[in-house]
Structures are given as C-alpha cells and as structure tokens.
Amino acid sequence: MEKEDIKPPKKELSNHIHEYINGCAKTITGGFINPLIDFALPSFHQKRFERWCENIYKAIIILEENKISRENLIANEEFISLLKESVSIASKTHQDEKHQLLKNALLNNFDSNLTFDSKLIFTRLVESLTIPHLYFLRLIDRYANEIKDQKVFSEVKEIFKKDSLSVIIPDNSYRMILNDLEKLNLIAVGEIVFENIVRKPGKLLIGGEDKELPYITITSFGTDFIGYIVRD
C-alpha cells in the first residue's frame, strides 16, 4: 500500500467538521449564527483543524509502518470510536500540546492493555484538564521519588522548577491544580504545608478509616493516564 493511498482527504474531512461546528453553534444560538461566529469558524477551520488532520495522517503512517494495515484500522471499532472522539476534541482547541497528546493516545492505543472505557476516559481527560494541570501531573510522575518526602510545598516547587514544564504553570495556581487532580483521583495528597497553612489530606475510606498518605504521590490511575497520553 502506498502511503499516499491512506492520506485522508483533508479538505473533505475538514468541511464535515466545519459543518458539525456550525451545527453546534446553531443549537447554542437557537438556530441563528451571528456574524462573529461565522467569521471565526473559517479561520479556525483552516489554521487549526487541517493541522490536526495532518497529525492524524502522520499517526496512520506510523501505525502502518508498525505492520498495522489500513484495513485492520478501519475494522477496529474501538480505534474508530477513539479516533472520532479525538477528532471532536481536537476540533475544539487551538492548543498544539493537546493535539500531540491526542495523537500519542491513538498510537499508544494498540499497545495498551487498558479497557476501552479507560481509554475513552483518558481521552476525555485531555479535553477537560488544562495544560498546566497536565504538566503538573507529569512533573509529579517524573519527580515522584524526589518529592514523596517533601512536607513543605515550596520545596516541591523548587524541585519542579528544574524542569522546563514548570514554566507554563502559573505560580498562584498550584493549590487549585493540586485540589483538582486529587478530586479526579489522579494524585493522592497527605498533610502538606502551603505558606504556613497546613493542608489536611482528603479522606480515603479504606475499611472505614483514613489511609495514611505520602505528602504528594501519583495514583495508579494517574500513572495509567500519563502512560496512555505520553509517547517518549
């Protein structure tokens, strides 16, 4: 099979997505698309979504080189469902970082032992979490051994600042991001000090008792999530 044969018709696919977005806009506005929406969509359509189509093409090229044929891809219902979900998410964001994570997930899908529902949950988490949330989780995973015994959060931040990923995280958003990730069961947090304020751990009901936690650690759910969306 020639690589050109599997290249998706970008303009045709983009047109379908453009119509889909227009349909969503009509629903939101009660059937009327105002001039601002009508003006913005074509620009987004050209500059962002076509780039995502190219990412999809490159992903399919990589899959084919790994001896996965286009016919097998088309016949794989789970892959098609995840592809549709990824395309929908990609069409709603301009962020290249999320486009890359969605591409990683599609590629990792075939080597993953996760259930389809877990893959779908993780794909949707890429949409719902901000880039600072995603980078902060990656830092917790990357520096797990160095931060596990750090009780003061300022010391955790100093460790993270060695990494270029920390630059994108607003300095005053750490506590909010930490709380959000804990609520999603992506991390577990014990008692830790934020600027002289002691943050008590959330309650994990294990046999009716609180479980003693390390100060900050990534959960198995969080580890699976990172493993699914990151491709080194």
User: Interior CA angle at 170 toward 169 and 172, to 5°?
Assistant: 130
Who's near 62: CB < 8 A, 6+ residues apart? 107
| Residue pair 65/6 in contact by the 8 Å Cβ criterion | no
Structure confidence at residue 72 (pLDDT): 74
Kind of pairing, strands 216-218 and 187-189? antiparallel
Q: What is the pLDDT of residues 35-93, one digit of tens each?
A: 444 444 555 555 666 677 677 777 777 777 776 776 777 778 888 888 888 888 887 88
**What average pLDDT is seen over the chain?**
75
Q: What is the pLDDT of residue 186?
A: 95
Specify the pLDDT at position 208. Answer: 35
pLDDT reported for residue 150: 84
Task: Give the whole-angstrom CA distance, residue 108 versus residue 118.
Answer: 13
CA 188 and chain centroid, separation: 19
Q: Is 118 exposed, middle or buried (0-12, 13-18, 19+ CB in 10 A)?
A: middle
Stated pTM of the model = 0.73
- Smallest CA-to-CA distance from 8 within 64, 89, 67 is with 64
Sign of CA dihedral 137, 139, 143, 149: negative
With a cut of 50, which residues of the chain have pLDDT below it? Answer: 1, 3, 5-6, 8-14, 16-18, 20-21, 24-40, 196-197, 199, 203-214
Residue 163 corresponds to which tokens in the numbers above? 């990494």
Q: What is the pLDDT of residue 111?
A: 85
pLDDT at 139: 95
